[in-house]
Chain A
Amino acid sequence: MEIIRFDNVHFKYPGSEKETLRGISLSVEEGTFVAVLGRNGSGKSSLAKHMNAILLPSSGRVTVCGMDTADEDRILDIRRNVGMVFQNPDNQIVANVVEDDVAFAPENLGVPSDQIRRRVDDALTLVDMFNFKTHAPHLLSGGQKQRVAIAGVLAMRPKIIVLDEPTAMLDPQGRRDVISTVTALCRENGMTVILITHHMDECVNADRVIVMADGSVVKDGTPQSVFSDVDTMEKHGLSAPETVKILYDLNRSGYSFSLTTLDVQTCAEKIAEALGK
């Protein structure tokens, strides 16, 4: 079932001469994991902000869960269904205790208090932070804080979670934890996940990768099909994961690997086979 739809969306920031989004049309199926890539200034974040009505199209239409984002009467419904997580966890945490922070959104939504308790516990369990519920957020690591921020969004029980570079400030362990958390939310809980990132290796498990350039969608397909087009990726300031790059360069030295390999083990097996092992 379609959950997000963009119909010929154009967007221009007030006072700017240049269009940030230039005629975007796309449709996202419920329960898919979509990664959005593109160089800085390509329109990725503006695209994301259209999904929960932080920005409204200058022309065209965005529909989320069947609701037009330009319909002011539905704005609370839209924001309840589309949770957003941003780059810096410190800017997203408001309370002095982890569980209070997670309860912030459902409290504001007027959820009865016995249900809040359950929602907070469920959300913290989903991000594997239940044991930290009485901790002070500022003493957590970056990855832990970001997972608390995700729990805060989950406590609204949204259908869609949009993450705008959630790992940019995290160490490798924090990145691994956040990415495996959002992957599980999609695979095990059927949530629709939109992940904006500069880290190509975070897109490997996505169902679909969308590449933006200059306000338009220039590539849209499975990670295998998008990353195997190494030349287009480079043209748009991006790079393929090392598994694809190494096979690509080996091909230039006479090998003939298909470039659809995204995990390290399969990549190594292909190379070993070609080397006669």
Chain B
Amino acid sequence: MAHISIVDLTHIYSMGTPFEKKALDHISLEIPQGQMVGLIGHTGSGKSSLVQHLNALIQPTSGQILLDGNDINASKITRRDVKFQVGLVFQYPEYQLFEETVYKDISFGPQNMQLSASEIDERVREAAGFTGVGEDLFDKSPLELSGGQKRRIAIAGVLAMRPSVLILDEPTAGLDPEGSRRILSNVTAYRQATGSTVIIVSHNMDDMASLADRIIVLSHGTVAMDGTPEQIFSDPEKIQSLSLDVPQSTRIALALKKLGVDLRQPVFTHEGLLSAILNYRGGVTC
């Protein structure tokens, strides 16, 4: 059984008004437990609308979202419970920090789950550990910290609920390369430790190529492509026609091919390009 099933999902904003807009158009997807999914697509393709359905933040106009086979919109209670199971980290989540101290901010989610004080404390420390937030920061005001630190605290606040599905909407936008790497390795660590399903919405093709098990490309509210990074980035013309791009390493491999150097394997990461070139030389000289 799939962990998340999206069944014939359609969402129409402002239905019946002159501003009516179909954001999602009959989408069906099955996401197995533990998969790392990269969700990409042009601005307005429906990425954010889709992920906001997965924790019942918005409800389908038609269709269903099933978590472990159960309709998350079955009742008021299921709609509330799903918010603890499916953790959603918004774009620029650091703007949503509001508590006086880092500790209180991270503990906000587990507090709402009405856990015991010791359970809450354990979860706060665990989430801080995953995101590299030192315990020396616990008593500080989140507002005093740097952008990268604030974002990791916001993510810790979601991880503290121990969601079995973690969704991040453009988690690295506006961060420097080092800050981006840290966030992505935090997410990888959480997934490895817990076996959670992870969905990352991103415009960074290089990150998605190296991290994701599977890439789903949305365009105008429909699924335009769905496959492994290898499958997705082997069709650069189609990717570009969807306002996206292939990773830089793929562009170099394609240019090499035009020059008569066929690396004989799909390339979509730096490491893949490096080893393909080194093996190519090996193949020729031996």
How distant is A228 from chain B, measured CB to nearest CB, in Å? Answer: 17
Query: Closest B-chain residue to A237, C-beta based?
Result: B178
- In the assembly, what is the distance between CA of A239 and CA of B178, in Å? 8
Interface string of A235-277 (1 = CB under 8 A from B): 0011101110110011001000000000011011101100111
Question: In the complex, which range does the number of interface residues on chain B fall in?
Answer: 35 or more
Task: Name the B residues within 8 Å of A165 (CB-CB).
Answer: 174
- In the assembly, what is the distance between CA of A267 and CA of B256, in Å? 9
Task: Name the A residues within 8 Å of B277 (CB-CB).
Answer: 246, 250, 271, 275
Query: Closest B-chain residue to A168, C-beta based?
Result: B174
Cβ-based interface call for B260 (8 A): yes
Q: Once the chains bind, are B274 and A264 in contact (CB under 8 Å)? A: no
How distant is B232 from chain A, measured CB to nearest CB, in Å? Answer: 13
- In the assembly, what is the distance between CA of A198 and CA of B244, in Å? 18
Known A246-B273, A276-B284; judge A169-B248 contact (CB<8 A). no
Interface size on A, residues (CB 8 A): 42
Task: Tell which of B42, B243, B255 touches A264, judged by Cβ atoms closer than 8 Å.
Answer: B255
Known A38-B176, A40-B146, A198-B175; judge A170-B43 contact (CB<8 A). yes
Known A41-B147, A143-B43, A237-B176; judge A201-B248 contact (CB<8 A). yes
Q: List 29 A-B contacts (CB under 8 A).
A: A39-B176, A39-B178, A40-B175, A40-B176, A40-B179, A141-B43, A165-B174, A169-B91, A169-B173, A169-B174, A171-B42, A171-B243, A173-B243, A174-B243, A237-B178, A238-B177, A241-B248, A242-B206, A242-B248, A242-B249, A242-B270, A243-B252, A246-B249, A264-B252, A271-B252, A272-B256, A275-B277, A275-B280, A275-B281
A residues apposed to B, CB below 8 Å:
38-41, 87, 141-143, 165, 168-176, 198, 200-201, 237-239, 241-243, 245-246, 249-250, 253, 264-265, 267-269, 271-272, 275-277
